[in-house]
Amino acid sequence: MRLIKTQFSMTKWRHCSVKCQFVFVDRSAEGELMLALRSQNEIGRTTVSTNFGQEIFLFQKLAVASKDSLMKDFPQDWIRWIEVELACEKKASKGSWYNAPALLLAMLIWKEDFDLSLIKEMQEINDPSISLPEKEMVARGRIEKIFKERAYKMLAIANPANGQGFFSLLFNFNWIREKDQVGLRRDKVHSLATSKISPERKKEILHSLMHCRVDDVTSEREYYSDG
């Protein structure tokens, strides 16, 4: 661009303009749009591995998307399962901020990882007395439990109650350098998100963690208390 500007800045007939079109997507269609884009990526085999910040973003957006939008293309047996699963979760947690069960979100966002884990788990069941359908059922039960627990942790972090400032830092952080950020372990982000401190204090601590190079610079007790 700099070269073009230097050579043609005085040649008006070579100037060009770019027309941008911004599309506003109503929340009632947000879930459907994100699932459609994800499906399109899979069809084109252009799926790019997501980083931690992007996964948090996906959990938050899909979790608050319209339930009708999310379930639009699911078969009836899946819709019944989703309704039952979500009702159980809301009852267990006395209400939750998200509109889709944790396991469904995990299966959508971590689809490739989930499928590969299921195949690997089935391969590790070597009991010849177990039929293939039984083997899949046992393996699926184990994998679903693991992924559901992972999803609960992500939803705890993605909870809008943690504050806009908290998410502004998470979404704009360079997660490519995550391995170099000794103080910013994922378990610390989860502990911070679930702590009983103000959103503003969470933002301050997260900022400190993002610039911390030594793991034990400050004790956990100091990090997660207002005092």
Q: Is the pLDDT of residue 179 over 90?
A: no
pTM over 0.75: no
Residue-wise pLDDT tens digits, 27-75: 555 555 555 555 545 544 555 567 888 899 999 988 888 877 777 778 8
> What pLDDT, on a 0 to 100 scale, did the predictor assign at position 117?
95
Residue-wise pLDDT tens digits, 74-92: 888 888 988 898 888 888 8
* pLDDT band (50, 70, 90) for residue 9: low
Cα(204)–Cα(210) distance, integer angstroms? 10
Q: Is the pLDDT of residue 7 over 90?
A: no
Q: Is the pLDDT of residue 102 over 80?
A: yes
What does residue 75 show for φ and ψ, rounded to 5 degrees? -70, 165
Q: 17-21, 51-55, 93-97, 130-134 — which is least confidently predicted?
A: 17-21
Query: Cα dist. 175→3, 121, 178, 198, 208 in Å?
Result: 32, 30, 5, 25, 15
Q: Which long-range contacts (CB under 8 A, 24 or more apart) does 137-146 make?
A: 143/114, 143/117, 143/118, 144/103, 146/117
Q: Where are the domains of the chain?
A: 18-158, 159-227
Residue-wise pLDDT tens digits, 147-160: 999 999 999 999 99
Cα(175)–Cα(185) distance, integer angstroms? 11
